[in-house]
Amino acid sequence: MRIIFIGILLLPLVLMAEIEVTDTQGRSMTVDILSFNKTTREVKLRRTSDSAVFSVSLDVFASESQAEILKVAPRPKANLLSKVSVSRRRRDVKDSFYMEIQTISAKAIIENDSRDLDFADGEGTLFLIARETKRYANRDEDYGKVLQRESFPISVKSGEVFEFENTPVQTKYDSDKDYTNVGGWEYYGWVLIIQKADGTVHTTATSIGNLQKEVEENPELGVAFLKLKEEELVEKNLERRTK
């Protein structure tokens, strides 16, 4: 394993807090505080009675409500942009024309695109997922396996880039895509999860097509992925295989 500090797209998770607020005219409502812009003093909130979302100045609220809003408003988070590049090398098993040995190397590149927010004392976990090639002979054998799971510390200052390289991993599989396939594990995709210093999930990303939209909309799916162990069998959505 090699870690390099050099001085790419994941969406930060937005946490919401529901409180009752009162404006300067004495009118009250219950809202979720979505964000607060310190520079413009603009508060973005969602009214719980009808789910309407709007932005107003902090100054429209009574002083007690202003203090409560500032207390519960989500703190700005570092904007981490990431990508994972994967290289695969193949060679035949002895004189075989169909059994392949595959060596997979991966590099995660994480850029802190924030103007003035550092990301410190976090942790990254990179999963490499393989897929059973028996599926070419039998559709009921279409499932995956956690080929590799590696965790690493992450600290990256504003405007800088962090890199992590995995320990290369090998797998073996039948490359014939027909009814003669005897199976094996071929690399399928990666999943990258970044946790903050307190252990909560900051971002989740994947190259697995059927999961990409889901993790963009809900990075907390990474919480479930983190429960997976190396060599564990999984379905296409990365749920544990129980069959």
**pLDDT at 96 (0 to 100):** 82
**How far is Cα 125 from Cα 111, in angstroms, rounded to an integer?**
16
pLDDT at 18 over 50: yes
- Asked whether the predicted pLDDT for residue 4 surpasses 60, the reply is no
Burial of 67 (0-12, 13-18, 19+ CB in 10 A): exposed
Task: Compute the average pLDDT of residues 81-110.
Answer: 93
- Contact (CB, 8 A) for 166 and 192: no
Domain boundary among 72, 96, 119: 72
Is residue 240 in some structural domain? no
Contact 183, 132 (CB under 8 A): yes
Kindly give the residue spans of alpha helices, DSSP state H, lying in 42-99.
Answer: 63-72
Q: What is the pLDDT of residues 23-72, one digit of tens each?
A: 999 999 999 988 888 778 899 898 999 989 999 999 999 999 999 999 88
Listed in order, strand segments (DSSP E) in 95-235 are: 99-112, 119-132, 144-156, 161-165, 169-174, 185-195, 201-206, 233-234
pTM for the full predicted model: 0.73
pLDDT digits (tens, 9 = 90+) for 156-184: 999 999 999 999 999 999 999 999 999 99
- The residue from 48, 72, 96 where one domain ends is 72
Is pLDDT of 3 > 70?
no
- Cβ distance 157 to 112 under 8 Å? yes
The domain spanning residue 47 has which CATH number?
A: 2.30.30
**What is d(CA 121, CA 161) in angstroms, rounded to the nearest whole number?**
15
Q: Nearest Cα to 176, choosing from 96, 236, 95?
A: 96
Domain match, 29 and 147 both: no
Q: Is the pLDDT of residue 77 over 90?
A: no
User: Which phi and psi (to 5°) does residue 62 adopt?
Assistant: -65, 155
Q: What is the pLDDT of residue 34?
A: 85
Taking residues 69-87, report their average pLDDT. 89
For 170, what's the count of Cα atoms within 13 Å in the CB-facing half-sphere? 7
β pairing state of 99-112 and 119-132: unpaired
Domain count within the chain? 2
- Is residue 11 predicted with pLDDT exceeding 50? no
Structural domain boundaries, residue 118: 2-7+78-234
Q: What is the mean pLDDT of the chain?
A: 89
Are 152 and 199 in the same domain? yes
* 217 pLDDT tier (thresholds 50, 70, 90): confident
